[in-house]
Every structure is written in structure tokens, then in C-alpha cells.
Amino acid sequence: MKQEYDANEKELQSKTEKKLKNERDDLHKQFEMGVFELQQKSNLKNLLIQRKVQVLEETLEKKDAQLGEVAALGNRDPNTVQIVKDNINHTIDSKNKEIRQLRYELGKMTKAYKDLSNAFKTKLVQYGVPLEEMGLPYYMS
């Protein structure tokens, strides 16, 4: 009986050892996969950063060229400089006009929204429907 007990115990230990080795191997594989994924993500981020740096360098080169052109204008005759100034002022005035028009439109739309919202709330009250029951967003109540 002792031999039978020892054999069962050895078999149980063997199974447990095998199970633990499998778990260790699985954990090791998961670890390696995690490291590999992290390396891939890191490489991708590095590529993206390199691309951003490249784009910024190109932008800087363009800005330097534009600055060079502006500096070259300093040596131009006053008529050319005045034409450039007039073009810039015209563009700025045009953009400012667009901004004013958009702000005006935004004001009109905001007023129309508030009027509609107030009319809606008034009708709800008129028909005896509580605002809370409508499930309206917080900004409507």
C-alpha cells in the first residue's frame, strides 16, 4: 500500500510539474509577444516622429525662403513695396469682413435656437408636460 501511495504521489507530482512547466512556457511566450508588440509600437512611433520632424524641417525651409523674399523686398523700389502692402491689407480686410459676417450669422442662429427652445418649453408647460419627463439634455432645462 505504501508503494501504491508513493506511485500515486509521484504521478501527481509529475502531472503538477508538467502543468507548471506548460504554464511557465505559456507565460514566457506571452512575455515575448508583449515585448515584440512593444517594439513594433515603439518603432512605429519613432517613424511617426521622424516624419513629423521631416515635415517641420520642410516647413521651416519654406518659411526661411519666404522670409528671404520679404527681406529682398526691402531692397525693392517703394512702388513694389506699396503694392505688396496694399495686397496684404486687402487680404486682411477681406478676412476681417468674413469673420464679422460669420459672427453675425452665429448670433442669428443662436438667437433662433434660443427662441425655438423657449417656444418648445412654453408649449410643454401649456400642455402640462413636465420638462423632467421629456429627458431633455441639461442645457435645455
- Are 6 and 65 within one domain? yes
Q: How far apart are CA 87 and CA 71, in angstroms?
A: 17
Query: b vs e for 16-46, b when ≥16 Cβ sit within 10 Å of the residue's Cβ?
Result: eeeeeeeeeeeeeeeeeeeeeeeeeeeeeee
Whether 65 and 10 map to the same domain: the answer is yes
Q: What pLDDT, on the 0 to 100 scale, is given for residue 17? A: 92
Where is the domain boundary, 75, 97, 119?
A: 75
**Statement to judge: residues 137 and 94 lie in one domain:** yes
- Report how many domains make up the chain: 2
Mean pLDDT of 52-78: 76
pLDDT at 68 over 70: no
Q: Domain range spanning residue 118?
A: 77-141
Q: Are residues 65 and 84 located together in one domain of the fold?
A: no
State the burial class of residue 120 (Cβ atoms within 10 Å of its Cβ: 0-12, 13-18, 19+): middle
Quick one: 131 and 94 in the same domain? yes
User: Which percentage of the chain shows pLDDT scores above 90?
Assistant: 5
pLDDT tens digits along 21-60: 898 888 888 887 877 787 887 878 888 888 888 888 888 8
C-alpha R_g of the chain:
37
The CA distance from 121 to 130, in Å, is: 9
Q: What is the pLDDT of residues 96-124, one digit of tens each?
A: 888 888 888 888 888 888 888 888 878 87
DSSP string, 45-57: HHHHHHHHHHHHH
Could you tell me the pTM of the whole model? 0.40
Same domain? For 103 and 120 the reply is yes
